[in-house]
Chains A and B, each alone.
Chain A
Amino acid sequence: MSICPEVAAPEPVFAEPWHAQVFALTVHLNEAGRFSWADWVERFSATLKRHGLSRELDGGEDYFRAWLETLEMFLAEQGAASRAEAEVMRSRWEEAYLSTPHGAPVKL
Chain B
Amino acid sequence: MPGSSCDVQSEAAAPMFCGWTQALGAGQSFFMPHDHHDDHPHALLPPDPALRVKALETILTEKGLIDPAALEEIIDTYQNRIGPQNGARVVARAWSDPDFKAALLADADPVLAELGLYGRQGEHMVVVENTAQQHNMVVCTLCSCYPWPLLGIPPGWYKSDAYRARAVREPRKVLAEFGVTLPESCAVRVWDSTAEVRYLVLPARPEGSESLGEEELAALVTRDSMIGTGLAKVPGEALA
Q: Which residues of A contact B (CB under 8 A)?
A: 1-5, 7, 11, 13-18, 20-25, 27-29, 31-32, 34, 37-38, 40-42, 44-45, 47-54, 56-60, 63-65, 68-69, 71-73, 75, 80-81, 85-87, 89-90, 92-94, 97-104, 106, 108
Contacts and interface: CB of A to CB of B under 8 A. Distances in A.
A25 B50 CA distance: 13
A13 B153 contact: yes
Given A4-B179, A94-B45, A89 B25 contact: no
Contacts of A17: 50
Nearest to A56: B161
B66 A29 contact: yes
Given A38-B196, A63-B144, A89 B58 contact: yes
A31 B70 CA distance: 10
B145 A41 contact: yes
B42 A37 contact: no
Nearest to B83: A13
Contact of A14 (B42, B79, B144): B79
B55 A89 contact: yes
Given A37-B121, A101-B42, A54 B177 contact: no
Nearest to B65: A80
Nearest to A5: B157
Given A68-B53, A89-B58, 6 more contacts: A20-B79, A41-B145, A51-B25, A59-B163, A72-B56, A106-B43
Given A3-B177, A71-B56, A86-B55, A52 B17 contact: yes
B27 to A, nearest CB: 4
Contact of B56 (A20, A31, A47, A75): A75
A54 to B, nearest CB: 5
15 contacts: A21-B54, A21-B71, A28-B67, A32-B65, A52-B17, A53-B23, A53-B24, A58-B160, A59-B144, A63-B156, A86-B52, A86-B59, A93-B58, A97-B45, A101-B42
B12 to A, nearest CB: 17
Interface string B47-69: 10111111111111001011100
B66 A28 contact: yes
A11 B72 CA distance: 21
Interface of B: 16-17, 20-25, 27-28, 40-47, 49-60, 63, 65-67, 70-72, 74-75, 78-79, 83, 120-121, 142-145, 152-153, 155-163, 166, 174, 177-179, 194-196, 240
Given A21-B75, A93-B51, A86 B161 contact: no
A98 B42 contact: yes
A19 to B, nearest CB: 9
Most chain B C-beta atoms within 10 Å of own C-beta, residue among A3, A32, A34, A60: A3
Contacts of A2: 177
B45 A50 contact: no
Nearest to A75: B56
B240 A7 contact: yes
B24 A93 contact: no
Given A3-B177, A21-B53, A53-B24, A38 B195 contact: yes
A76 B53 CA distance: 14
